[in-house]
Amino acid sequence: MNERDVLDTMLTESYASYVARGVPAHTTVWPRIQARLSEAMKPVAHEPSRRARLPQLVLRSALILLVVVAGIAASAVASAQVRAGLHRVVQDAAASVGVSFSPETGKFGVSPATKFAVLQPRYLPASLTFSEASNIPAPVPGRKLGQWIPTLSKYPPCSPTSGGKQPCPGAELATHFPASWQKLVDENVDAVWFYYAALPPQNGYVGISEHATILGRSLVPGGTRVVVSGQDFLITHEGMVTTIGFTFRGTDVVIDTNLSQSEGMRVAESMIGQ
Protein backbone atom coordinates (compact mmCIF):
# COMPACT_ATOMS: atom_id res chain seq x y z
CA MET A 1 0.00 0.00 0.00
CA ASN A 2 1.33 3.42 -0.82
CA GLU A 3 1.04 6.27 1.63
CA ARG A 4 -2.05 7.73 -0.02
CA ASP A 5 -3.87 4.40 0.10
CA VAL A 6 -2.95 4.01 3.73
CA LEU A 7 -4.26 7.43 4.55
CA ASP A 8 -7.49 6.83 2.61
CA THR A 9 -8.02 3.55 4.43
CA MET A 10 -7.23 5.12 7.74
CA LEU A 11 -9.70 7.94 7.17
CA THR A 12 -12.49 5.64 5.99
CA GLU A 13 -12.02 3.31 8.92
CA SER A 14 -11.66 6.10 11.42
CA TYR A 15 -14.93 7.67 10.32
CA ALA A 16 -16.73 4.35 10.34
CA SER A 17 -15.42 3.48 13.77
CA TYR A 18 -16.07 6.95 15.16
CA VAL A 19 -19.67 6.94 13.95
CA ALA A 20 -20.30 3.37 15.02
CA ARG A 21 -19.18 4.17 18.54
CA GLY A 22 -20.88 7.53 18.72
CA VAL A 23 -24.28 6.97 17.15
CA PRO A 24 -26.54 4.20 18.47
CA ALA A 25 -28.03 2.03 15.76
CA HIS A 26 -31.65 3.01 16.14
CA THR A 27 -31.35 6.67 16.91
CA THR A 28 -34.19 8.70 15.46
CA VAL A 29 -34.62 12.42 15.16
CA TRP A 30 -38.36 12.27 14.57
CA PRO A 31 -39.27 13.13 18.19
CA ARG A 32 -37.11 16.23 17.97
CA ILE A 33 -38.74 17.23 14.73
CA GLN A 34 -42.16 16.76 16.23
CA ALA A 35 -41.18 18.81 19.25
CA ARG A 36 -39.94 21.65 17.05
CA LEU A 37 -43.03 21.48 14.91
CA SER A 38 -45.00 21.68 18.11
CA GLU A 39 -43.11 24.81 19.02
CA ALA A 40 -43.84 26.35 15.67
CA MET A 41 -47.21 24.93 14.79
CA LYS A 42 -48.40 22.95 17.79
CA PRO A 43 -49.16 19.80 15.84
CA VAL A 44 -50.48 16.82 17.75
CA ALA A 45 -49.68 13.30 16.74
CA HIS A 46 -52.22 11.46 18.81
CA GLU A 47 -55.96 11.52 19.03
CA PRO A 48 -57.51 13.99 21.49
CA SER A 49 -59.81 12.56 24.09
CA ARG A 50 -63.53 12.67 23.57
CA ARG A 51 -63.85 15.51 26.01
CA ALA A 52 -61.10 17.46 24.33
CA ARG A 53 -62.66 16.97 20.94
CA LEU A 54 -65.67 19.06 21.80
CA PRO A 55 -63.97 22.43 21.67
CA GLN A 56 -62.10 21.16 18.68
CA LEU A 57 -65.37 20.65 16.90
CA VAL A 58 -66.34 24.15 17.86
CA LEU A 59 -63.12 25.56 16.59
CA ARG A 60 -63.29 23.50 13.47
CA SER A 61 -66.75 24.77 12.87
CA ALA A 62 -65.64 28.30 13.62
CA LEU A 63 -62.79 28.18 11.22
CA ILE A 64 -64.81 26.51 8.55
CA LEU A 65 -67.47 29.10 9.05
CA LEU A 66 -64.92 31.80 8.79
CA VAL A 67 -63.53 30.44 5.61
CA VAL A 68 -66.93 29.89 4.11
CA VAL A 69 -68.10 33.38 4.82
CA ALA A 70 -64.79 34.83 3.80
CA GLY A 71 -65.01 32.74 0.69
CA ILE A 72 -68.46 34.00 -0.06
CA ALA A 73 -67.41 37.57 0.53
CA ALA A 74 -64.39 37.13 -1.63
CA SER A 75 -66.07 35.33 -4.45
CA ALA A 76 -63.47 36.60 -6.83
CA VAL A 77 -60.94 34.60 -4.90
CA ALA A 78 -62.78 31.37 -4.28
CA SER A 79 -64.18 29.44 -7.17
CA ALA A 80 -67.76 28.24 -7.17
CA GLN A 81 -66.53 24.69 -6.97
CA VAL A 82 -64.43 25.39 -3.91
CA ARG A 83 -67.30 27.23 -2.26
CA ALA A 84 -69.66 24.35 -2.92
CA GLY A 85 -67.19 22.00 -1.27
CA LEU A 86 -66.77 24.27 1.68
CA HIS A 87 -70.51 24.59 2.05
CA ARG A 88 -70.84 20.86 2.36
CA VAL A 89 -68.08 20.76 4.93
CA VAL A 90 -69.52 23.55 7.00
CA GLN A 91 -72.97 22.04 6.88
CA ASP A 92 -71.57 18.84 8.33
CA ALA A 93 -69.56 20.70 10.91
CA ALA A 94 -72.47 22.88 11.93
CA ALA A 95 -74.72 19.85 12.23
CA SER A 96 -72.17 18.27 14.52
CA VAL A 97 -72.65 21.05 17.01
CA GLY A 98 -76.39 21.26 16.63
CA VAL A 99 -76.93 24.15 14.30
CA SER A 100 -77.95 24.42 10.69
CA PHE A 101 -76.22 26.31 7.95
CA SER A 102 -77.70 27.62 4.75
CA PRO A 103 -75.30 27.79 1.82
CA GLU A 104 -77.74 30.05 0.00
CA THR A 105 -77.71 32.73 2.65
CA GLY A 106 -74.47 31.89 4.39
CA LYS A 107 -76.35 31.97 7.67
CA PHE A 108 -76.49 29.67 10.60
CA GLY A 109 -79.82 28.51 11.84
CA VAL A 110 -79.19 29.21 15.45
CA SER A 111 -79.38 32.92 15.00
CA PRO A 112 -81.79 34.90 12.88
CA ALA A 113 -79.41 37.82 12.85
CA THR A 114 -77.42 38.39 9.73
CA LYS A 115 -74.35 39.74 11.41
CA PHE A 116 -73.30 36.85 13.49
CA ALA A 117 -73.78 33.26 14.29
CA VAL A 118 -73.37 31.42 17.53
CA LEU A 119 -72.25 27.87 17.63
CA GLN A 120 -73.29 26.61 20.95
CA PRO A 121 -72.15 23.42 22.53
CA ARG A 122 -72.60 23.17 26.21
CA TYR A 123 -69.17 22.76 27.62
CA LEU A 124 -68.70 23.14 31.31
CA PRO A 125 -65.83 21.05 32.59
CA ALA A 126 -64.58 23.71 34.97
CA SER A 127 -62.70 22.53 37.98
CA LEU A 128 -61.37 25.87 39.08
CA THR A 129 -62.71 28.39 41.48
CA PHE A 130 -63.88 31.86 40.85
CA SER A 131 -61.21 33.30 43.11
CA GLU A 132 -58.49 31.80 41.00
CA ALA A 133 -59.98 33.23 37.87
CA SER A 134 -60.38 36.66 39.30
CA ASN A 135 -56.63 36.85 39.87
CA ILE A 136 -55.96 36.83 36.16
CA PRO A 137 -54.49 40.17 35.12
CA ALA A 138 -55.94 42.28 32.36
CA PRO A 139 -54.47 41.97 28.89
CA VAL A 140 -52.20 44.81 27.85
CA PRO A 141 -52.54 46.23 24.33
CA GLY A 142 -49.31 46.15 22.37
CA ARG A 143 -48.00 43.05 24.05
CA LYS A 144 -47.96 39.59 22.58
CA LEU A 145 -50.76 37.35 23.62
CA GLY A 146 -48.23 34.83 24.80
CA GLN A 147 -46.95 37.29 27.37
CA TRP A 148 -50.33 37.31 28.95
CA ILE A 149 -51.61 33.83 28.40
CA PRO A 150 -48.91 32.09 30.43
CA THR A 151 -50.54 33.53 33.49
CA LEU A 152 -53.42 31.25 32.63
CA SER A 153 -51.46 28.22 31.68
CA LYS A 154 -51.16 27.12 35.25
CA TYR A 155 -54.61 25.75 34.61
CA PRO A 156 -53.68 23.48 31.76
CA PRO A 157 -56.43 21.21 30.64
CA CYS A 158 -54.07 20.33 27.83
CA SER A 159 -50.58 21.04 26.76
CA PRO A 160 -49.24 20.85 23.24
CA THR A 161 -45.64 21.04 24.36
CA SER A 162 -45.35 18.90 27.45
CA GLY A 163 -45.33 15.18 27.06
CA GLY A 164 -47.89 13.01 28.69
CA LYS A 165 -50.59 15.58 29.09
CA GLN A 166 -53.75 15.77 27.15
CA PRO A 167 -53.10 17.38 23.79
CA CYS A 168 -54.74 20.58 22.73
CA PRO A 169 -57.22 19.69 20.02
CA GLY A 170 -56.91 22.93 18.15
CA ALA A 171 -53.33 22.15 17.45
CA GLU A 172 -54.44 19.30 15.30
CA LEU A 173 -56.81 21.61 13.58
CA ALA A 174 -54.01 24.00 12.83
CA THR A 175 -51.93 21.19 11.45
CA HIS A 176 -54.56 20.18 9.00
CA PHE A 177 -55.68 23.60 7.99
CA PRO A 178 -54.87 23.96 4.30
CA ALA A 179 -52.51 26.72 3.28
CA SER A 180 -54.97 27.94 0.67
CA TRP A 181 -57.54 28.51 3.37
CA GLN A 182 -55.03 30.32 5.48
CA LYS A 183 -54.49 32.70 2.56
CA LEU A 184 -58.18 33.35 2.28
CA VAL A 185 -58.35 34.06 5.95
CA ASP A 186 -55.29 36.26 5.95
CA GLU A 187 -56.76 38.36 3.21
CA ASN A 188 -60.11 38.79 4.85
CA VAL A 189 -59.76 38.72 8.58
CA ASP A 190 -59.57 42.09 10.23
CA ALA A 191 -59.07 40.87 13.74
CA VAL A 192 -59.57 37.98 16.04
CA TRP A 193 -61.10 38.50 19.40
CA PHE A 194 -62.28 36.64 22.38
CA TYR A 195 -64.36 37.21 25.36
CA TYR A 196 -62.37 37.18 28.54
CA ALA A 197 -65.05 36.74 31.11
CA ALA A 198 -64.79 37.10 34.84
CA LEU A 199 -65.64 33.46 35.09
CA PRO A 200 -63.57 30.50 36.11
CA PRO A 201 -61.09 29.52 33.44
CA GLN A 202 -62.57 26.51 31.81
CA ASN A 203 -61.29 24.24 29.18
CA GLY A 204 -61.96 26.57 26.34
CA TYR A 205 -59.60 27.01 23.51
CA VAL A 206 -58.63 30.16 21.77
CA GLY A 207 -57.92 29.94 18.12
CA ILE A 208 -55.17 32.45 18.35
CA SER A 209 -51.44 32.18 18.33
CA GLU A 210 -49.56 33.36 21.34
CA HIS A 211 -47.59 35.46 18.86
CA ALA A 212 -50.61 37.54 17.99
CA THR A 213 -50.45 41.11 19.21
CA ILE A 214 -53.09 42.37 21.59
CA LEU A 215 -54.63 45.33 19.80
CA GLY A 216 -57.10 46.41 22.37
CA ARG A 217 -59.63 45.51 24.94
CA SER A 218 -62.97 46.80 25.95
CA LEU A 219 -65.29 46.09 28.79
CA VAL A 220 -68.44 44.27 27.91
CA PRO A 221 -71.11 43.12 30.31
CA GLY A 222 -69.60 40.44 32.47
CA GLY A 223 -66.10 40.59 31.11
CA THR A 224 -63.61 42.00 28.66
CA ARG A 225 -63.38 41.72 24.93
CA VAL A 226 -59.79 41.31 23.81
CA VAL A 227 -58.90 42.01 20.22
CA VAL A 228 -55.72 40.64 18.74
CA SER A 229 -54.13 40.87 15.35
CA GLY A 230 -55.68 38.69 12.72
CA GLN A 231 -52.59 36.77 11.77
CA ASP A 232 -51.47 33.50 13.28
CA PHE A 233 -54.80 32.85 14.78
CA LEU A 234 -55.07 29.24 13.85
CA ILE A 235 -53.08 27.82 16.68
CA THR A 236 -54.96 27.36 19.85
CA HIS A 237 -53.87 27.92 23.35
CA GLU A 238 -55.21 26.31 26.39
CA GLY A 239 -56.75 27.52 29.56
CA MET A 240 -59.03 30.31 28.41
CA VAL A 241 -62.58 30.98 29.28
CA THR A 242 -63.96 32.55 26.27
CA THR A 243 -66.27 33.17 23.51
CA ILE A 244 -64.12 33.56 20.50
CA GLY A 245 -64.87 35.32 17.30
CA PHE A 246 -63.51 36.81 14.17
CA THR A 247 -64.10 40.04 12.43
CA PHE A 248 -63.78 40.04 8.72
CA ARG A 249 -64.82 42.77 6.39
CA GLY A 250 -66.53 44.47 9.27
CA THR A 251 -68.67 41.52 10.25
CA ASP A 252 -68.35 39.67 13.50
CA VAL A 253 -68.75 35.95 13.74
CA VAL A 254 -69.15 34.75 17.27
CA ILE A 255 -68.36 31.29 18.43
CA ASP A 256 -69.18 30.48 21.96
CA THR A 257 -67.22 27.68 23.52
CA ASN A 258 -68.60 27.28 26.94
CA LEU A 259 -71.40 29.61 27.89
CA SER A 260 -74.99 28.58 27.78
CA GLN A 261 -76.83 29.48 24.63
CA SER A 262 -78.71 32.36 26.17
CA GLU A 263 -75.51 33.67 27.73
CA GLY A 264 -73.71 33.25 24.47
CA MET A 265 -76.33 35.10 22.56
CA ARG A 266 -76.29 37.89 25.10
CA VAL A 267 -72.54 38.17 24.96
CA ALA A 268 -72.55 38.10 21.20
CA GLU A 269 -75.18 40.77 21.02
CA SER A 270 -73.32 42.96 23.47
CA MET A 271 -70.19 42.55 21.45
CA ILE A 272 -71.66 43.72 18.22
CA GLY A 273 -73.80 46.39 19.79
CA GLN A 274 -77.23 44.93 19.31
Q: Which residues bind another protein (CB under 8 A)?
A: 1, 3-4, 6-19, 21-24, 27-30, 32-33, 36-37, 40, 43, 175, 178-179
CA-wise closest residue to 213 among 156, 137, 148 = 148
For another protein, the closer of residues 38 and 188 by Cβ is 38
CA-wise closest residue to 242 among 228, 259, 220 = 259
CA distances 153 to 89, 111, 157, Å, are: 32, 33, 9
Least separation in angstroms between residue 17's CB and another protein is 5
Least separation in angstroms between residue 21's CB and another protein is 5
Beta-sheet pairing, 223-229 with 189-197: antiparallel
For another protein, the closer of residues 162 and 180 by Cβ is 180
Least separation in angstroms between residue 25's CB and another protein is 9
Alpha carbon distance 160, 170 (integer Å):
9
Give the DSSP letter string of 55-79: HHHHHHHHHHHHHHHHHHHTTTTS-
For another protein, the closer of residues 47 and 132 by Cβ is 47
Least separation in angstroms between residue 8's CB and another protein is 7
For another protein, the closer of residues 15 and 130 by Cβ is 15
For another protein, the closer of residues 181 and 193 by Cβ is 181
Least separation in angstroms between residue 86's CB and another protein is 17
Alpha carbon distance 52, 63 (integer Å):
17
- φ and ψ at residue 99, rounded to 5 degrees: -130, 165
Least separation in angstroms between residue 15's CB and another protein is 4
Residue 247: beta bridge partners? 191, 252
Least separation in angstroms between residue 162's CB and another protein is 18
Least separation in angstroms between residue 48's CB and another protein is 18
3-state secondary structure of 34: helix
Alpha carbon distance 90, 18 (integer Å):
57
Beta-sheet pairing, 204-206 with 237-240: antiparallel
For another protein, the closer of residues 38 and 236 by Cβ is 38
For another protein, the closer of residues 148 and 181 by Cβ is 181
- Collect all residues with Cβ–Cβ distance below 8 Å to 77 and sequence separation of at least 6: 71, 184, 187
Alpha carbon distance 158, 34 (integer Å):
17
For another protein, the closer of residues 28 and 81 by Cβ is 28
